[in-house]
Structure 1
C-alpha cells in the first residue's frame, strides 16, 4: 500500500473514531436527560406532598413506597383485604398477561393468514373487525365476568383488548409485502401455502415485531382492567382495594410495580 493510501486509511479511521465518539456522547446525553427528568419527577413527588402543596392523601410519596412494599411482601401481609404477598399479586398479573398476549398473537397470525388466504372473507369481515377494534372493551368486563367467571374473565379481557388490533396489524403487514416477490415465487411454481410460509410471513417480520410490542402493553392493560372488576388477586386488585380504603401507598406501590413490569 502506498503512502497516500495509508494516509487516506488513517484519515478515514480517525473520522470513524470521531463519529463513534460523537454517537457515544449523544447516547450519554440522552440517558442523562432521561435520568434527570426521572429525578426531577421523584423530587417533586416527594417534596410537594410533604410541603402540603399537594394533599398527600391523594398522591402518597416515594419514600413511603418501600415500607409499603416490605409490609406487603410476606404471603400473609398485615392488611385485612389482602390475602397474599405482593410478589404473588405481581406474578398473577404477569402470568395472565403472558397468557393473553400469547393467545392474541397466535390467533392474530392464524386469523390474518386466513383473511389473506380468502380475500373475500376479509372483505366481508373488515367492517366488523374495525368496529370490534374501536369499541371500548371495558364495557364488556361485567359480561365477561358473568360468562367466564372471576379468573377466566381476566384472560378474556386481555385477549379482547389485544386480539383485534393484532389481526389488523398483521394482515396489513401481509398486504404490504412486495407483490413482485409473490409473483416471482409463483413464477417458480410456488403453491399458495409456500407463498404464505416462504414469502408473506418472512416479509412481515417487521410488522410482527411491531405487533408484539403493541400487544404486550395492551394485554397488560386488559389484565389490569379485568382485575379491577373480577379478581381478589393481582396488581389491578391491589390498586382497586387501595383506592377503596384510601390507602394511596398501596395504590402507588402497585402502580410503580406495573411501570417496572411494563418497561421490562
Structure 2
C-alpha cells in the first residue's frame, strides 16, 4: 500500500511567532520524505545487487565448467564481441535499422489501432460483428504468418507486417475496453448538457482514457520489438535480428549475446521515453 504524505505547511498555516514567516514542514512530513528517499535507495541497491549477482554467476559458471561456454558465452566475452562489432564499423547500421523498423511499426500499430477502437466505440453493431475476428486475430500466433507475409510483401515489407500484426490487435482490444469502461455518469452528464456522440468521444472518452493510452504504448514497445526481431530472423540482411541469426550460424554466442544485450537496452530506452511522455502528458 502506498504511504500517504502527511500534510505540510500551506499559506493558511500559523506563522512563526519569532519571525512572522510561514512555518516550515512539520516533523512528520520531513520523516515521511526521509522514509521515501530511503525506500528509493533500497530499491536501487536491491536492483544493482541482483544484476551484479546475475553477471557474476554468468561469468563464473562457464569458466568453472558448470555450463558449456559455447552455449552461453560469458559477460567478458560478450564485451569483447561488442567491441569487435564496433571495430567492424557496421554496428550503428544494425541498431539504426532495427530502431527505425520498431518506431515505424509502433506508430502504425498505435494509429491504426486507435482508429479502429474509436470506430468500434462509435458503432456497437460494428463491434458485435468484428468481436470474434479480433479475438481470433489476437490469439493467433503471429510467427505463423511470417512466411505468408514474406511471399506477399517481400523481405522488408514482411518485417513491418509482422511487427504491426503483433501489436495491432492488442492495441484495439485494450483501447476499446478502456473506452467502453468510461464512467457512465460522465457520459450521462454530457448527454444531459446536449452533447452528441462525437462530442462525448472527444470531451469525455478520450481525455478519460489517457492512462489506457499510456498503458497501451508501454505494451506496444515490447510487442513491436518482438515483431521486428521475428521478421528480421526470416528476411533481413541488416539489423540486430540479423546479427543474432548470423552469430548463431557461425557459433559466435558472444555476438548473439551482445546483440541481445543491445536489444534489452533499446527496449528499456524506448520504455523510459514513453514513461517520460506519460509524466509530461499527465501534467
Q: Same fold (TM over 0.5)?
A: yes
Could you say if the C-alpha distance between residues 192 and 66 of structure 1 is closer, same or farther in structure 2, counting changes exceeding 3 Å?
same
Residue 90 (structure 1) aligned with residue 95 (structure 2): yes
Match of 2:64 among 51, 55, 58: 51
**In structure 2, do the counterparts of structure 1 residues 56 and 179 end up closer, same or farther at CA, with 3 Å as the change threshold?**
same
Native 8 Å contact 2:162 2:227 kept in 1: yes
Once superposed, which parts of structure 1, at least 4 consecutive aligned residues long, lie more than 6 Å away?
Answer: 9-12
1:10 to partner: Cα distance: 6.9
| Residue matched to 1:247 | 252
Please, which of 141, 144, 148 is the counterpart of residue 143 of structure 1? 148
How far apart are the structure 1 equivalents of 2:123 and 2:47? 47
Q: Deviations over 1:94-152 (max 9, x none)?
A: 11000011001001110000000110000111011011001100000111111111011
- Mapping of residues 31-110 of structure 1, within 5 Å: 31-74=44-87, 77=88, 85-110=90-115
Which residue of 217, 225, 229 maps to 1:224?
229
Does the CA contact (< 8 Å) of 2:117 and 2:175 recur in 1? yes
State how 1:1-264 maps to structure 2 within 5 Å: 1=14, 13-74=26-87, 77=88, 85-264=90-269
Pairwise CA RMSD: 1.8
1:250 alignment partner, SS class = helix
Q: Secondary structure at the match of 2:206?
A: helix
Note the residue ranges of structure 2 that are not aligned, 5 or more in a row. 1-13, 270-283
Structure 2 distance, partners of 1:211, 1:44, is: 35
Give, in whole Å, the separation in 2 of the partners of 1:22 and 1:240.
48
Cα distance in 1 for residues equivalent to 2:15 and 2:255:
72
- CA deviations over 1:147-206 (Å, ceiling 9, x no partner): 111011111011000000000000001011111111111111112111111111001111
TM-score after normalising by structure 2: 0.86
Could you list the runs of 5+ residues in structure 1 that have no partner in the other structure? Answer: 78-83
**Aligned residue pairs: how many?**
253
**What's the TM-score, normalizing by structure 1?**
0.92
